[in-house]
Structure 1
Amino acid sequence: MVLGIEHFFSFFPTTNRIQQQKSRPILVDSVFGWIVSYTTREIPSSGQNPPCNIVAVSLFNLEERIERFWKVEELQPRSDYSWEHRQCEKLFSTTTTRTAEGRYIVRLPRQPNFNQLIGQSKPTALHRFRLLERKLDRNPELKKEYHKFMAEYLSLGHMQCVQDDDGHHSEGYYLPHHPVVKEASTTTKLRVVFDASAKTSTGASLNEALLVGPVLQDDLLSAILRFRTFPVAMMSDIAKMYPIQCYELSTVTYGLSPSSFLATRTLQQLSADEGDSYPLAGPAVLKGFYVDDFIGGAQSITEAIQLRRELSELLAQSGDFSFRKWTSNNTRVLADLSPEEIGTQSPIEFDAQ
């Protein structure tokens, strides 16, 4: 690095040097170590390149320190896909289909011995459900919100009523569920959580019988760092991207081992299938999401508005996803949105810079 002539002499705090015979290298002590400098021995004939000076710097100590620094700061590179990851990707690529509305139909990636791992699950689920009923009976408000959540699931088509004559479907797994209340949430205070880690009669759970799948999105640190580079910042999330007489769940539900892979892989597939028609939203779907949250922005207000519109159109019209809780550090980006689409956080409460 050339730092400037005013710094040059500070590189040589001593006058130590080793002067050898003519045409031999000169060694000069410096703050970087010993610098070796010399000219090529033979002078080339006319028409050839002129003599060149060669400088070598001994930087053992400096290199050692830098190497130690990078070892401390090093991020572990993503290794090649394991057999399990390759199976998940193969199953997704070969079996995923789409409905007329654009919604993706995916299969749960199973372990090879899935049928041997999954035993009877209904007795445990019924016991958990009776405990839940007693809890809800003691808290009428909680019971009201719980029923409201499940009714919405039903109305949205996330689950459907099924016949359960014998009570023991050979291929079925009964999911225990319970409420989680999050007072800080700006949308749903109560969420129903499905427990796919509940053991069956074999001692194995549904999660243990499913493949997990690889991590496809960038880590949260990368998403936040990239988010902070945009003058106009934007955030949003996909409504209910993860989605029991008995009800059969019709959508990918949070709590299952491969849910994260299936959801994020579907976003990538949507970008591959439809992204060419959306020059801003296509790349943003690949790089701007952390799970179901969009964290990104644009270089101008006009571009930010166009990006927001493209994202909404790509995900809603092409993939049957819908956005909610839009937030930005500039109110003009949100000007044409309905109150239901805007997050409760004031746009001036955070600064992308």
Structure 2
Amino acid sequence: MPVTTNSSAALPSDLDLPGPSRISDTTNVLASVISKPTSVLLSTAKVQILDRYGNYQTVRVLFDNCSQVNIITEKCANRLGLTRRNLSLSIHGLDHMSSAATKAVTCTIRPQSQPNPTFVFEAAVLSKICNDMPCTNISSSSWRHIYPLNLADPEFNVPGAVDLLLGAEIFPQILCGTSGRLVGEPDQPIALNTVFGWILSGKYKSQNPQINCFINTLDTSLESVLKSFWQLEEVPKKITMSADDSLCEKIFSESHSRNTTGRYVVALPFKGTEPIFSDTRSIALRRLYSLEQRLRRNPSLYEEYSNFMNEYIHSGHMEVVENCIPDSNTNTYYIPHHCVLKPESTTTKLRVVYDASSKSQENISLNDTLLVGPKLQQDIAAILLNFRIHAYVFTADIRQMYRQILISPGHQDYQRILWRVSPGEPIQDFRLCTVTYGITSSPFLAIRTLIQLANDEGARFPRAAEVLKK
């Protein structure tokens, strides 16, 4: 774990310097008084690491022979596409600092200049190892003993990110014998020969001295392992709602209703007064022309898209706007639309998606004016824990879940779209009558309606109500 301290900090008076100071029965730290403006250079190297596709990429390594664990940054692991496995590890540093590692990857590294030797090891994944190394640019022009050397990190003196920390497991294996050691003038780092090239380590003169300490130890005690286990098994606590979430809940509670068929009718939860948009129709019209050009290049896709829209109309989920005046400035918003293909789906291979984030001339969209609402979905951890209760389970899907819920007639004109079955027909204005994909409040409205259904019908169907809620 990195710790940055000022070199002028006083050491405790009871230390018997310059000899080693015993911290505990298992850990020794060598402490020394720093009276000159110096910093300590830590060893870095550029190495090649194998990614998931069999290619080698260059990463920057920091060597720490006091660390009991190898560490890779999350950013580097993502870039390499390395497969992660679950891990429960507590990493401890100086002054009781600790970090929890929950993922690990297998790494394979080799020198940049040759294919061998290779090293395979496990590394814990953390968000960050340390700040850029070194802290500032270093002037090394007077370090004559390093000039002829093939340095493992030619840019050792330029601040740069560290991707990988290699600990005591790897460090002894990279050294090239006892003769691979060059010492320069006092207050100049020592060069050590390794399979990756020469690495530099030690004190150097600095006008802005800082020290970075790395001592990573593993906590594998039974108490620590059990604590991590129960933390993983614990169901997440309920989060308190924000002011916006409370307002969204209030709007739903006060405005929802059920029609004569039993369907729920809900209002769009606007942040304030109902907005007025100017000329969103022209934007939707341009997007429709662009969509038609794409569909004409793929007749089968055009047919699927038309079938989807026709089914929308025949289900009563979309209706024609009668006596539409295109240029009128009313409480309307036209939503551009496009399709998303999922060939692997067994139910809906094509879905029309509505872009309610399309900006108007005022540079606002419908989504900008709506409340998102609180997260009502059950946490996946709680759902997985429920699977342990029963010997047999099954899953089911609510068909066209969003479209089972009607939008209040006073808000349906905020869900207008443009459509025609073929380019030879006139363009028609439609309004979407149900909760719609692509509108930011739709997930809240859909799940909140399910909860409301469970509340309203719980007395008649108690077991079904429990399923809907949990």
How much has 1:238 moved relative to structure 2? 0.9
Matches within 5 A, 1:14-25: none
Q: State the secondary structure of the residue aligned to 1:180.
A: strand
2:271 corresponds in structure 1 to 111
2:438 corresponds in structure 1 to 255
Instruction: Mark the structure with the bigger radius of gyration.
Output: 2
How much has 1:75 moved relative to structure 2? 7.1
Q: Are 2:310 and 1:127 aligned?
A: no
The alpha-carbon distance between structure 1 residues 284 and 206, as it changes in their structure 2 partners (threshold 3 A), is same
- TM-score when normalising by structure 2: 0.45
Take 1:240 and 1:178, find their aligned partners in 2: how far apart are those partners? 18
Q: Are 2:442 and 1:282 aligned?
A: no
Take 1:188 and 1:132, find their aligned partners in 2: how far apart are those partners? 20
2:303 to 113, 136, 144: 144
Q: State the secondary structure of the residue aligned to 1:115.
A: coil
The alpha-carbon distance between structure 1 residues 237 and 69, as it changes in their structure 2 partners (threshold 3 A), is closer
**CA deviation profile, 1:70-117 (whole Å, cap 9, x unmatched):** 77887763332111111111111111110111100000000115526x
Q: Are 2:452 and 1:269 aligned?
A: yes
How much has 1:267 moved relative to structure 2? 0.4
2:349 corresponds in structure 1 to 189
1:157 to 295, 316, 319: 316
Take 1:222 and 1:70, find their aligned partners in 2: how far apart are those partners? 14
Q: Are 2:383 and 1:200 aligned?
A: no
**CA deviation profile, 1:222-249 (whole Å, cap 9, x unmatched):** 2233134322211111111123311101
Choose between structure 1 and 2: higher strand proportion. Answer: 2
CA contact (8 A) 2:245 2:374 kept: yes
Matches within 5 A, 1:195-344: 195-243=355-403, 244=417, 245-287=428-470
CA contact (8 A) 2:281 2:326 kept: no
Take 2:223 and 2:278, find their aligned partners in 1: how far apart are those partners? 59
2:6 corresponds in structure 1 to none
Percent of counterpart pairs with the same letter? Answer: 44
CA RMSD of aligned residues (A): 2.4
CA contact (8 A) 2:235 2:381 kept: no
* Unaligned 5+ runs, structure 1: 1-60, 288-353
Take 1:226 and 1:69, find their aligned partners in 2: how far apart are those partners? 17
- TM-score when normalising by structure 1: 0.59
CA contact (8 A) 2:279 2:327 kept: no
Take 2:280 and 2:380, find their aligned partners in 1: how far apart are those partners? 36
CA contact (8 A) 1:113 1:209 kept: no
Choose between structure 1 and 2: higher helix proportion. Answer: 1
* Unaligned 5+ runs, structure 2: 1-220, 404-416, 418-427
Q: State the secondary structure of the residue aligned to 1:277.
A: coil
Matches within 5 A, 1:41-80: 77-80=237-240
Take 1:239 and 1:192, find their aligned partners in 2: how far apart are those partners? 16
How many residue pairs match? The answer is 226
